[in-house]
């Protein structure tokens, strides 16, 4: 199977974005722009790319042995080009296009190995293009050639060369990657060796005046995988002295975590191993239950300055951690207040869920709410298409007494405190790779989402981001949200009929 043009959605957003930025025949005075590409979810795979003001969201799923691809964009030309490309590609058996999206289904059935390879191609293409500045058609052509080589690698491997292509991702006797993690200590140095998804990571770390100092090596026979890791480390401000070869990446990390000693470092590494294993099991298809249940052991944010303080919601007895972030005091976990509470509100009825309708996920991730439920308003009064017009703040909404739903300005204040829109990793209890990275005790987790919009299948998504509502309503249809999906910590308006988590901030 050829698989050509599976990355066309990434190409199209850059090509049309360059035109939108002003690249014409003259080639003069072309403003620079930067490709932004991030993985929002691993399964289904959701990739969002932005360039020149054009946003494209690509979803890839595996159902009944076939690949399902959906492309959404705020630009009609991008959708038209992707529709044309997919319809001309024999790999797609059915392609449906409208003014909002392009939907394609693979012609032939794929093995799980083939599907995982296609996913990895998307991810690597996203990683390789993210952060690239493109100011001319020549630079765009060069980047497209680099990305196109990914597809050619897959195409050439699919005709009798599958094993050579997959050996960097999978073990020889299994379609899934191997996993192992071990922590050892020698004097003042702690070593963690982690094997996951075809990569071996070795971290040798120590503590100096509260700082975490670490020399790391990532190695793999897969050159494309190493190139992606190299690119990520070079773009991380906390990483020093990155050196890359064809099969290894060497890098140094220096972060002020206020660690009290090496014993705490051992605990941190061991907890990282446990979290990695939980993430691996949850995403490899080997989980012991058919329900998606995330372990509550990762729900408590890491704290390197002692135990986090807690408070009790007197309405239902739920206990939450709390964390000081500059001048603000935030909940260290997502709200779990539900419509089954004895003192609940009618505005929560039918407007709050646990991810995948699994109650234990609420214990770990908190509940998912419509915006109206968060604001403790009725759908008839403030739902999609109705301007609620709340003007008095702070607004308690469904937050506990003494706490309120944060406004857009309060989230911006938090962003300023942590250091900007690229500091998401510092706030995640678990990042996209399952690593413990939380610096403050904020303890953000990938919350998932629920789509309650009219005309859509009311369904859950494991959406790989921590996503939170604000109390700020820019128009009748949507409200501002904030999300963390790796290094990104930023804001976006979303439909009020989406189900997201909520963090409360103290009055």
- Taking only the tens of pLDDT, the chain with its 507 residues reads 334 344 555 555 555 555 444 443 434 443 447 788 888 888 888 888 887 778 888 888 888 778 888 888 888 888 888 888 888 777 788 888 887 888 888 887 777 767 777 777 787 778 777 877 766 666 666 666 666 555 554 444 444 333 333 333 333 333 334 678 888 888 888 888 888 767 888 888 888 888 888 888 888 887 766 776 777 677 666 677 888 887 888 888 887 777 778 888 888 888 888 877 766 665 443 332 223 333 222 222 333 333 567 888 888 888 888 888 888 999 989 999 986 555 567 888 888 988 888 888 888 889 999 999 999 999 899 998 999 988 889 999 999 999 999 999 999 999 999 888 888 878 887 544 444 457 788 888 888 888 887 666 677 886 668 899 999 999 998 999 998 887 789 898 999 988 999 999 999
Contact 197, 284 (CB under 8 A): no
Burial letters 339-365, b for 16+ CB under 10 A, else e:
bebeebbebbeebbbbbbebebbbbbb
101-106 and 133-134 strand pairing: unpaired
Contact 13, 78 (CB under 8 A): yes
Q: How far is residue 211 from each of residues 261, 325, 436, 437, 442, measured CA to CA in Å?
A: 9, 19, 16, 14, 19
Contact 102, 75 (CB under 8 A): no
Scan for tokens 């003014």, then name that residue: 99
Query: Where does 283-357 show beta strands of DSSP type E?
Result: 309-312, 319-325, 328-331, 352-353
Answer left, alpha or beta for residue 15, where phi above 0 means left and psi between -120 and 50 means alpha.
alpha
- Give the neighbor-by-neighbor strand order of the sheet with 199-208: 179-186, 189-196, 199-208, 211-219, 248-256, 239-244
Give 205's Cβ-side CA count (13 Å radius).
30
Q: Which of 328, 348, 291 is nearest to 411 (CA)?
A: 328
239-244 and 33-34 strand pairing: unpaired
Confirm whether pTM is higher than 0.85: no
């Amino acid at each position: 199977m050829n698989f050509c043009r599976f990355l066309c959605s990434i190409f199209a957003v850059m090509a049309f974005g360059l035109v939108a930025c002003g690249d014409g025949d003259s080639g003069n005075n072309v403003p620079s722009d930067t490709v932004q590409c991030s993985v929002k979810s691993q399964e289904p795979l959701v990739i969002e790319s932005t360039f020149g003001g054009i946003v494209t969201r690509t979803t890839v799923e595996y159902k009944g042995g076939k690949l399902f691809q959906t492309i959404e964009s705020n630009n009609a030309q991008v959708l038209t080009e992707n529709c044309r490309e997919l319809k001309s590609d024999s790999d797609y058996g059915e392609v449906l296009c409208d003014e909002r999206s392009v939907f394609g289904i693979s012609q032939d059935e794929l093995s799980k190995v083939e599907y995982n390879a296609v996913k990895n191609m998307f991810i690597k293409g996203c990683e390789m293009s993210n952060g690239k500045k493109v100011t001319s058609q020549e630079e765009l052509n060069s980047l497209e050639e680099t990305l196109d080589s990914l597809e050619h690698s897959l195409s050439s491997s699919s005709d009798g060369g599958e094993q050579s292509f997959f050996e960097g991702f999978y073990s020889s006797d299994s379609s899934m990657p191997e996993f192992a993690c071990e922590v050892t200590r020698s004097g003042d140095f702690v070593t963690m060796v982690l094997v996951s998804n075809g990569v071996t990571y070795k971290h040798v770390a120590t503590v100096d005046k509260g700082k975490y100092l670490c020399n790391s090596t990532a190695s793999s026979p897969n050159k494309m995988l190493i190139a992606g890791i190299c690119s990520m480390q070079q773009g991380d401000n906390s990483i020093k002295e990155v050196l890359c070869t064809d099969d290894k990446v060497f890098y140094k990390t220096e972060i002020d975590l206020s660690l009290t000693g090496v014993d705490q470092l051992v605990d941190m590494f061991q907890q990282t191993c446990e979290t990695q294993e939980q993430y691996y099991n949850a995403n490899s298809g080997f989980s012991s239950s058919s329900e998606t249940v995330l372990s509550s052991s990762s729900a408590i944010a890491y704290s390197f300055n002692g135990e986090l303080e807690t408070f009790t919601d007197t309405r239902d007895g739920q206990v939450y951690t709390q964390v000081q972030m500059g001048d603000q005091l935030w909940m260290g976990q997502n709200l779990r207040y539900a419509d089954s509470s004895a003192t609940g509100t009618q505005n929560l009825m039918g407007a709050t869920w646990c991810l995948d309708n699994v109650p234990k996920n609420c214990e770990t991730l908190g509940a998912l709410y419509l915006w109206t439920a968060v604001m403790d308003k009725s759908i008839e009064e403030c739902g999609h298409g109705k301007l609620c017009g709340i003007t008095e703040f702070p607004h308690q909404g469904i937050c506990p007494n003494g706490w309120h739903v944060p406004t857009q300005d309060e989230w911006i204040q938090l962003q300023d405190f942590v250091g900007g829109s690229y500091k998401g990793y510092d706030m995640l209890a678990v990042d996209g790779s399952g690593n413990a990275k939380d610096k403050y005790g904020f303890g953000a987790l990938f919350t998932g989402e629920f789509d309650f919009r009219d005309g859509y299948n009311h369904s859950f998504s494991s959406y790989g981001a921590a996503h939170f509502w604000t109390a700020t309503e820019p128009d009748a249809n949507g409200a501002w949200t904030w999300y963390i999906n790796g290094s990104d910590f930023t804001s976006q308006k979303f439909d009020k009929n989406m189900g997201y988590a909520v963090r409360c901030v103290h009055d």
